[in-house]
Chains A and B, each alone.
Chain A
Amino acid sequence: MGTVVATLLNGVSYGMVLFLIASGLSLTLGLMGIVNLAHGVIFVLGGFVGLFVARATGSFLLAVLAGGIASGVAGLIIERGFLRFLYKQNLPQVLVTFGFIYILTNLMLWVCGPQPRSAFVPSYFAGSVVIAGVSFPFHRFAIMGIGIAIGAVLWWLQEKTKVGAIIRAGMDNAEMVGGLGINLTPINVGAFFFGSAIAGASCVIGVQLFGSVGFGDGMDMLLVAVAVIIVGGVGSVQGALVGALLIGIIDTFGRVYLPAISQYTMYLVLILVLVVRPSGLLGRRL
C-alpha cells in the first residue's frame, strides 16, 4: 500500500512538470501549427541560466524569472529570426526547429561545459512530509502546487480573456480572425515567447524533482512533451494537464511494476489513445 501511494505521488509530481513543459508546446502547435522541436532544448537552456542566477543571487524567484526570460528570448530569436520567413510553411518550420536542437545543445556544451547542473531548492521548499510511512521531500508538493497555479492562470488567460479568445479563434480559423481585422502576428510572437518562457521557468522549478539537468536532456524532455500533447490533445490547457498526469502516472507505475517495458510504456499509451481518438483525449478537432 505504501509503495502504491508513494508511486502515485511521484507520478503526479512528475506529471506536473510534464504539464508545464507541454503547455507551452501545445500553445504554439495549436495556434501556429508549428511543433517547436527545439522546445526541449529551450527547456534545458532556461534551467542552466536559472540555476546560474540561483547560485549567484540565492533567490529562487529571480532564478525562475531569469530562466523564463532566457528561454523566452531564445524562442523569440528562433521565431523572429527564422520561422517568420517561412510563413505558413509548417514543414520547413518544424525542420528548422529540429536543426536548433543540434545547435543549442552543442553551444551549451561549448559554453557551459559538460557538467550537469544540480537543482536549487530554496529554504522554504526544504524539509519533508511523511506519508504512508515514507518521507517525501516537501518540494514535490510545492511543484504540484505551482503546477496547478500556473495551469489555472493559463486556463484563465485562454478561456476568460480577450487575448485568449483571439488565440482560440486563431486555432480554429486563422484566416477568419485576420479577416476580422485582428493582426495575429503579435499574438503569434507573444505565444511563442510565452510558450518558451514557461518551458524555461518550469525547468528551474522541475529540476528540484529530477535532481539535476544536463545539456543533453533536451531531446528526452521534448519526446515526453510530444507524447503528452498527442495523448491530451492539442490546443487546450485541460488537454495538456490530462495528458501530462496520465503519462506521468503511467510512466512511473510502469517503471516500478513493469520495468521490462518501461522504456516505451509511454508510446504504447500514446498509440492506444490514437487508435481510439486521433485528436487526443481533450483535443480540438483536427
Chain B
Amino acid sequence: MKRRVPCMFFVTVLAVIFFATGAQAAEKEIRIGFITDLTSMLSINGISMRQAAILAMEEVGYKVAGKPAKLLVEDEASDPAIAMDKARRLVETDKIALLLGPFHGGCSSAVAEYVNRTRTPNLSCSYSVPDEAQAKAHWTWAPFGTNNQIGYAGGVYAAEASGYRTATTMSIDFAAGRAFVEGFMAAFSERGGKAVQDQWIPMGTKDIAPYITGLKQADVLVPWFAGVTVTAGVRQIREFKVNMPIVFPQCQFPAFPKQLAEIGDAGVGMVSPEMYVWTIDTPKNKKFVEAYQKRWGELPTSNSGSTYMTMQLVFEAFKKTGGDTSPTALAKALDTANVEGFVGPIRFADGRVGIGNYVIHKVVKVGNDYRTEVLTKYTIKTTKVGNKLVHSVVKQ
C-alpha cells in the first residue's frame, strides 16, 4: 500500500503533463524567447543577462506595440545540443516571434543554423560568434558585432593609441578565442604591428603556468581566457612577474563589478574593449544603472548593458511593425533599426552585423575599490567581401 503512493504520483504527474500541453495553444500575445546560460560556468554572464531582460520587460509593463508580451527564458547549460533542443521547443511549441541568445559560442552557431531553416529572427545579446559563423547565419542579427569585430577594436587601440609594435599572444584554443585574437591581430598588423609569438592553451587547462613561463618579451601581451578562467589567468600572469602591459582582445570581467573585485590588484592596469561598462558617464546610463541597482541590488555587467540595449532594439522593431510578428516584417524592421544605445546608435551593416560602438577601458583602483575608466571609443564597421567579413574603423 505504502509503495503505491509514489507510483500513483508518477502517473498523476504524467497525466497532468499531457493535459497541460494540450492547453498550451498560442494566444494573442507577443512571445520573446531567450536562451542563455543559467546553470553552468557561463551563468555568471547568463544570470545578469536575464536580469537585464526582465528589467527591460518590467519597464514597458510587459506590453510591446500595444500588445501583451511574454519573455520565456531557457537554460543552455553551455551545451550546443541542449541549446538546440530549447530553441526547437521555443520555436515549435511556444511559437515565439523572436529568439534572443544563446550566449555560448558553440550554442550560438548551432542555433543560428536552426533559425536559418525555420526563418526565426534571432538576436545575439553579445559579440557572440566568430566572423566565419556569422557569415553563414542569415537570420541572426549581431547588434554588438562578431568576436573578430570587438577584437579589432582592441588591436586598433594597441597600435594607434598605445603605439605598440610587437605583441605576444596567449589564448585558450577555442573557436571564440581564436576569433578574438585574429580580429585583434588583423587591426594590429594592418597598422604595422607584428606578433612575436602565438601560444594556444588547450581547453580545460587548470594550471596555465607552463605557458606563462614560456612567454617571449614584446611590447604588449595579448591574452584571452575563456569565461571564468580570466580570474585565474590574470593572477597567474602577475604572480610570475610578467611585466608586459596587457591589452585584451576581449575580456568581460573588468566590466563585471563583482568579479573585478575578485581579481583584485592583479587586474589593475588591464585594458580591454567592451560594448558596455557601468562607468560610462552619460545621463542615460546613470538612469539605467540606478534602475538596475534598485531592481537587482547589484551593478550591471557588460552583459546586462548589452542585453538591455538589445531589448530596446526588440521593442523598437515591434513598434515599427505595429505588433506584426511575421519574420519578414521583423527582419525589415531590424535591418533598418536605429536605436540609441549607451555608447552609440545601434544599426546594422553587411551580414546583419551591427556597427559596433566600443569603449576601450582600463582597470583602476580608487581607494579600496576597483573601477574602470573609459579611455576612448571606437566605431567599427563590417563589410562583406565575397564570403568574408572585413572590419574597418569608422571615423567620427
At the interface, yes or no: A145 with Cβ under 8 Å from chain B?
no
At the interface, yes or no: B202 with Cβ under 8 Å from chain A?
yes
At the interface, yes or no: A188 with Cβ under 8 Å from chain B?
no
Residue of B nearest to A211 (CB): B232
With A14-B206, A255-B202 as known contacts, state yes or no: A118 contacts B235, CB within 8 Å. yes
State A170–B63 Cα separation when bound (angstroms): 68
With A3-B214, A10-B207, A14-B206 as known contacts, state yes or no: A216 contacts B235, CB within 8 Å. no
State A109–B75 Cα separation when bound (angstroms): 14
Residue of A nearest to B215 (CB): A134
| Segment 142-174 of B: residues with Cβ below 8 Å from A | 173
Question: Which residues of chain B come closer than 8 Å to A255, judged between CB atoms?
Answer: 201-202, 205, 210
Chain A positions 131 through 153: 1 when the CB is less than 8 Å from some CB of chain B, otherwise 0: 00011110110000000000000
Question: Which residues of chain A come closer than 8 Å to B203, judged between CB atoms?
Answer: 263
State A91–B213 Cα separation when bound (angstroms): 44
State A3–B211 Cα separation when bound (angstroms): 9
Question: Which residues of chain B come closer than 8 Å to A2, judged between CB atoms?
Answer: 213
At the interface, yes or no: A6 with Cβ under 8 Å from chain B?
yes
- Partner pick for B39 among A14, A109, A115, CB 8 A cutoff: A109
Check A14–B262 contact: CB distance below 8 A. no
Chain B positions 202 through 241: 1 when the CB is less than 8 Å from some CB of chain A, otherwise 0: 1111110111011000000000000011011111100111
At the interface, yes or no: A128 with Cβ under 8 Å from chain B?
yes
At the interface, yes or no: A256 with Cβ under 8 Å from chain B?
yes
At the interface, yes or no: A175 with Cβ under 8 Å from chain B?
no
Interface size on B, residues (CB 8 A): 37
At the interface, yes or no: B114 with Cβ under 8 Å from chain A?
no
Query: Which of B173, B202, B213, B235 is packed against the most chain A CB atoms within 10 Å?
Result: B213
At the interface, yes or no: A35 with Cβ under 8 Å from chain B?
no
Check A7–B213 contact: CB distance below 8 A. yes
Residue of B nearest to A128 (CB): B241
Interface size on A, residues (CB 8 A): 36
Question: Which residues of chain B come closer than 8 Å to A134, judged between CB atoms?
Answer: 213, 240
Chain B positions 178 through 192: 1 when the CB is less than 8 Å from some CB of chain A, otherwise 0: 000000000000000
Check A220–B207 contact: CB distance below 8 A. no
Output the least CB separation between A13 and chain B (Å).
8
Output the least CB separation between B203 and chain A (Å).
7
| Segment 87-118 of A: residues with Cβ below 8 Å from B | 106, 109, 113-118
At the interface, yes or no: B91 with Cβ under 8 Å from chain A?
no
At the interface, yes or no: A259 with Cβ under 8 Å from chain B?
yes
At the interface, yes or no: A187 with Cβ under 8 Å from chain B?
no
Check B232–A210 contact: CB distance below 8 A. yes
At the interface, yes or no: A279 with Cβ under 8 Å from chain B?
no
At the interface, yes or no: B263 with Cβ under 8 Å from chain A?
yes
At the interface, yes or no: B43 with Cβ under 8 Å from chain A?
yes
Question: Which residues of chain A come closer than 8 Å to B40, judged between CB atoms?
Answer: 216
State A220–B207 Cα separation when bound (angstroms): 13
Beyond the given pairs A115-B258, A119-B235, 19 more chain A to chain B contacts, judged by CB atoms under 8 angstroms and listed by A's residue number, are: A2-B213, A6-B210, A10-B209, A115-B256, A118-B264, A128-B239, A128-B241, A134-B213, A136-B240, A137-B239, A137-B240, A139-B239, A211-B236, A212-B262, A252-B210, A255-B205, A256-B210, A256-B211, A263-B204
Question: Which residues of chain A come closer than 8 Å to B43, judged between CB atoms?
Answer: 109, 114
With A128-B241, A211-B232 as known contacts, state yes or no: A7 contacts B202, CB within 8 Å. no
19 pairs of residues in contact across A and B, judged by CB atoms under 8 Å: A2-B213, A7-B213, A113-B258, A114-B47, A115-B44, A115-B258, A115-B262, A116-B262, A118-B263, A135-B241, A137-B239, A211-B233, A211-B235, A212-B228, A214-B228, A216-B41, A255-B210, A259-B173, A263-B204
Output the least CB separation between B193 and chain A (Å).
25
Check B232–A220 contact: CB distance below 8 A. no
Residue of A nearest to B262 (CB): A118
At the interface, yes or no: A59 with Cβ under 8 Å from chain B?
no
Check B241–A10 contact: CB distance below 8 A. no
At the interface, yes or no: B200 with Cβ under 8 Å from chain A?
yes
Question: Which residues of chain A come closer than 8 Å to B116, judged between CB atoms?
Answer: none
Question: Which residues of chain B come closer than 8 Å to A3, judged between CB atoms?
Answer: 210, 213-214
Check A262–B202 contact: CB distance below 8 A. yes
At the interface, yes or no: B259 with Cβ under 8 Å from chain A?
yes
Question: Which residues of chain B come closer than 8 Å to A214, judged between CB atoms?
Answer: 41, 228
Residue of A nearest to B231 (CB): A212
Residue of A nearest to B42 (CB): A114
| Segment 1-23 of A: residues with Cβ below 8 Å from B | 2-3, 6-7, 10, 14
Output the least CB separation between B303 and chain A (Å).
11
